[in-house]
Each structure stands twice: as structure tokens, then as C-alpha cells.
């Protein structure tokens, strides 16, 4: 049990450190509870996104067998598009839920 806790803590550490660094550098930070909800939402979408990635991987399996083209297909269509798309949807949902707090985020969408 102790090993699992250490592994989870080490897995979360880079994200937490990056979050703290960016939040400290932000001249107009959003309220901490919204940032924390965004952080939790990002973790929560990991499982659904991985299921989408597995489905896309199975669908594109014949094309992934081709060495160079397969690597590009795998990188873009299996990994990048579902992950970044999921993050975008989560961010859009968060901005719609807290419209008064959106400031700079609205510029990105």
C-alpha cells in the first residue's frame, strides 16, 4: 500500500509543481477553487480519454503497422487529438460554468 501511495504522489508531483509555478507567476490569477476544479477535471477526463485512444488505436491498427507513417498516425490521431480535444472540452465546460472568471482563458478559446 505504501508503494502505491508513493507512486501516485510521484506521478502527481510534476503537475502540482507546474500548477503552483504558473499560478504564482500569473498577474491576474483566477480564484483558487476554480483552478483546483480545473486540475481535478483534467485528472477525471484521463480515463474516458484513454478509452477513446484505445478505440482509435484499434480502428487505425492496420495503418499503424507502417513504420514512419504509423508513428505519425499514432502520435497525432491516437494520442494528441483525443488528449488535447478532451482538455479543450474540459476547459470550455469550466469557462461556461464560471463566465465571470474567464479573463485570459476566453482569449484562448
* Run means of pLDDT, 10 residues per run, the chain, 109 residues: 89 89 85 85 90 93 86 90 92 84 56
pLDDT at 106: 53
Q: What whole-number distance in Å separates Cα of residue 89 and Cα of residue 33?
A: 19
pLDDT in tens, 53-82: 999 999 998 888 888 888 898 899 999 999
**Residue 27: per-residue pLDDT:** 83
Query: How far apart, in whole angstroms, are the C-alpha atoms of residue 58 and residue 15?
Result: 29
Amino acid at each position: 500500500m505504501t508503494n502505491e501511495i508513493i507512486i501516485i504522489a510521484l506521478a502527481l508531483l510534476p503537475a502540482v509543481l507546474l500548477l503552483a509555478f504558473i499560478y504564482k507567476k500569473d498577474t491576474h490569477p483566477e480564484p483558487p477553487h476554480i483552478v483546483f476544479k480545473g486540475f481535478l477535471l483534467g485528472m477525471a477526463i484521463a480515463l474516458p480519454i484513454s478509452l477513446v485512444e484505445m478505440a482509435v488505436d484499434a480502428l487505425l491498427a492496420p495503418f499503424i503497422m507502417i513504420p514512419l507513417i504509423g508513428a505519425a498516425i499514432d502520435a497525432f490521431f491516437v494520442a494528441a487529438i483525443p488528449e488535447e480535444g478532451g482538455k479543450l472540452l474540459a476547459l470550455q465546460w469550466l469557462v461556461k460554468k464560471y463566465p465571470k472568471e474567464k479573463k485570459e482563458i476566453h482569449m484562448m478559446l
